[in-house]
Structure 1
Amino acid sequence: MSIKIENLTHIYMKGSPFEKKALDNVNITINDGEFVALIGHTGSGKSTLIQHINGLLKPYSGKIIIDDTDITQKNVNLNFIRKKVGLVFQYPEYQLFEETVEKDIAFGPNNLGLSNDEINVRVKRAMDMVGLNYEKYKSKSPFDLSGGQKRRVAIAGVVAMEPKILILDEPTAGLDPKGRDDILGQIKKLHKEYNMTIILVSHSMEDVAKLADRILVMDKGTCILDGTPSKVFKEIDTLESVGLAVPQVTYLARKLKGKGFDVSDNIFTVEQAKNEILRILKNDGRAKK
């Protein structure tokens, strides 16, 4: 499903002494099947923006069009839209409540009025997609699981609804490195196998560089940069001016280039840095011969 945001403005507490413009005439188009990362400093408007996409917030002005349907119109069935646009909040494991993993994941599909057989198929498929063995975990209490496993159960509960668009707000917050890598790997798998449109909100430039096809940079309620990781991460001065950074390996590549090494400008992931250093060493070895 595609998303078209036109002239979107949102004002909190309009007319009060605490009035704040959180979004200021935002215009963004996200194509069907894209993997988009949304980055920005705290207070930049990221969370406000994603809550508009599935109708949790109403705009002060502007439109949000999901597959040709303007969801800001009064007669729109938002429940139908929210079945198609899944939103995983930060720390979603705090929303777990059922006595077993299976029941928690099945809660959403149950509300869709599906048959028991279809619900069972969806639960198994969702658990497989997030890397949880159905037979091993189905009868366990979600509250007895590790932090990373709880996060997977929460994501599986949204995935079991089979949304066309999946929005994840800092899905790796608070996890250890292994848990973080596991969750990111499952998100990439979801994008590839379900062909979902994915919007990932993250503060980790390394994660963004590794996963996203496209990056949107928010600052003071506006989108100031929009492009591929290669394009956006070349704007180091702009990113630093709004309290952001580029991946650490990009700074390393920049320093190596400054010292005379023939290093590519397109180094944003550890894998790219490794390949580039091996290339330089290989070429240096040939030169010595």
Structure 2
Amino acid sequence: MSIKIENLTHIYMKGSPFEKKALDNVNITINQGEFVALIGHTGSGKSTLIQHINGLLKPDSGKIIIEDIDITQKKINLNFIRKKVGLVFQYPEYQLFEETIEKDIAFGPKNLGLSDDEINRRVKRAMVMVGLEYEKYKDKSPFELSGGQKRRVAIAGVVAMEPKILILDEPTAGLDPKGRDDILGKIKDLRKEYNMTIILVSHSMEDVAKLADRVLVMHKGRCILDGTPSKVFKEADTLESVGLAVPQVTYLVKNLREKGFNISEDIFTVEQAKNEILKILNKG
């Protein structure tokens, strides 16, 4: 399912002394099956943009077209759109409320009016995809779990609705390194299993480099960079000028190149750097 954003503008507190243009004539097309990372400093417009894609906010002007439907039109059925576009907010575990994990994950599918058999199938599938064994966890309270496990339950609750587009707002925020790596691995699996279009909002350049096909950089309500991780992370000066950075390993590669090592500049992950350095050492 593709997303086409045309001339999108959103102004908070319009006409007041606190008026702020959160989105300024944004134009973006996201294709079916793409894994897109959305990055930008706090206040850049990232959260406002994703809330428009889910229909939670209405623009002051412009269009958002999802599967040939302009969701900004007045009489549009937003429930239909929200079945297609799943949004996992930052710290989603704070939205858990049912007495068991199974009931919490089943809440969304039940609201879709599905049969009990279909709900059960979706709950089991979603739990497997986020790495929670059904029989072991289904009757447990979500409040007995670790932070990383709660995050998995919350993501499973959205995944069980089987949206075509999955938006994740800082899904690894507040997790320890192992919890972060586990969640990121599951997100990669979700994309393969469900053939979803995924939009990942993140402050971690390392996560973006490992996962995304494409990176969109927001600044002052505009999309200022759009391209592959390789293309965007070569714009280090531009990123630093808007309060961002490239992955840490990129600075290491730059230093090695300045010291005369014949190492590729297209390196943005630790794994890529390790392979490249081992290649150079083996040649030597």
Residues in 2 aligned to 1:67 and 1:252: alpha-carbon distance in whole angstroms: 43
Aligned residue number for residue 143 of structure 1? 143
2:205 maps to 1:205 = yes
- What does residue range 37-186 of structure 1 map to in structure 2 within 5 Å? 37-186=37-186
Aligned residue number for residue 226 of structure 2? 226
Aligned residue number for residue 287 of structure 1? none
Aligned residue number for residue 247 of structure 1? 247
Residue deviations 1:9-36, cap 9 Å, x none?
Answer: 0000000010000000000000000000
Counterpart of 1:5, as a letter, is: I
TM-score (norm 1): 0.98
Displacement after TM superposition at 1:282 (Å):
1.1
Counterpart of 1:200, as a letter, is: L
TM-score (norm 2): 1.00
Displacement after TM superposition at 1:91 (Å):
0.1
Residues in 2 aligned to 1:187 and 1:85: alpha-carbon distance in whole angstroms: 16
Counterpart of 2:46, as a letter, is: K
Residues in 1 aligned to 2:113 and 2:163: alpha-carbon distance in whole angstroms: 15
Counterpart of 1:39, as a letter, is: I
- What does residue range 15-54 of structure 1 map to in structure 2 within 5 Å? 15-54=15-54
2:262 maps to 1:262 = yes
Residue deviations 1:93-126, cap 9 Å, x none?
Answer: 0000000000000000000111101100000000
Residues in 1 aligned to 2:7 and 2:100: alpha-carbon distance in whole angstroms: 44
Residues in 2 aligned to 1:59 and 1:283: alpha-carbon distance in whole angstroms: 57
Overall identity of the aligned pairs, in %: 88
2:189 maps to 1:189 = yes
Residues in 1 aligned to 2:187 and 2:90: alpha-carbon distance in whole angstroms: 15
Equivalent position SS for 2:73: coil
Equivalent position SS for 1:128: helix
RMSD over aligned Cα atoms: 0.4
Residues in 2 aligned to 1:29 and 1:6: alpha-carbon distance in whole angstroms: 8
Equivalent position SS for 1:263: coil
Displacement after TM superposition at 1:263 (Å):
0.8
Residues in 2 aligned to 1:201 and 1:142: alpha-carbon distance in whole angstroms: 25
How many residues are aligned here? Answer: 284
Counterpart of 2:100, as a letter, is: T
Residues in 2 aligned to 1:193 and 1:115: alpha-carbon distance in whole angstroms: 22
Aligned residue number for residue 272 of structure 1? 272
Counterpart of 2:140, as a letter, is: K
Residues in 1 aligned to 2:213 and 2:6: alpha-carbon distance in whole angstroms: 22
Displacement after TM superposition at 1:75 (Å):
1.5
Displacement after TM superposition at 1:192 (Å):
1.3
Residues in 2 aligned to 1:201 and 1:30: alpha-carbon distance in whole angstroms: 14
Residues in 1 aligned to 2:192 and 2:250: alpha-carbon distance in whole angstroms: 26
* Gapped regions of structure 1 (runs ≥ 5): 285-289
Residues in 2 aligned to 1:265 and 1:84: alpha-carbon distance in whole angstroms: 39
Displacement after TM superposition at 1:39 (Å):
0.2
Counterpart of 2:238, as a letter, is: T
Counterpart of 2:152, as a letter, is: R
Residues in 2 aligned to 1:176 and 1:246: alpha-carbon distance in whole angstroms: 21
